[in-house]
Amino acid sequence: MKNHFCKTIVFPLFLTLSIFNWPVLASEPSFKNVPCSAFGDEDDLMTFAFWLDGYLTGTQQKPIFDQEAIEPLLEATLTSCQSNPEKAVFQIVSELKSP
């Protein structure tokens, strides 16, 4: 009985839910493409840039947070966003963190 239940109810339900979620997942924007203009508040932009700094630090496998470098990075991100509102914040932060 349990095997029949899985074949007739659970699997088709799972498959249906999975298929209906595909368009949603495909249409969600990547955090790497979010433009500066998406933020109406500078605090929200700075929070996102701070998070991106941590993300990029992690992808570079640097376990240490550089507390003295974050403030200049955030200020430069804000300045760049003000002059390039359609540029992706991820691109700006990535460029600023490049050696």
Assess if residue 49 is contained within a domain.
Answer: yes
The domain tally of the chain equals 1
Give the span between the Cα atoms of 99 and 95, in whole angstroms.
9
Give the span between the Cα atoms of 92 and 26, in whole angstroms.
24
**Number of residues in the chain:** 99
- Tell me phi and psi for residue 88, to 5 degrees: -70, 135
Give the span between the Cα atoms of 45 and 78, in whole angstroms.
8
Assess if residue 90 is contained within a domain.
Answer: yes
Give the span between the Cα atoms of 78 and 51, in whole angstroms.
14
Assess if residue 72 is contained within a domain.
Answer: yes
Tell me the per-residue pLDDT of 36-72, one tens digit each, with 9 for 90 and over. 999 999 999 999 999 999 888 888 877 777 788 899 9
pTM: 0.68
Look at residue 81 and tell me whether its pLDDT is greater than 90: yes
Assess if residue 64 is contained within a domain.
Answer: yes
Structure tokens that stand for 6 in this block: 């899985």
Q: Which residue range(s) make up the domain with 85?
A: 29-97
Assess if residue 7 is contained within a domain.
Answer: no
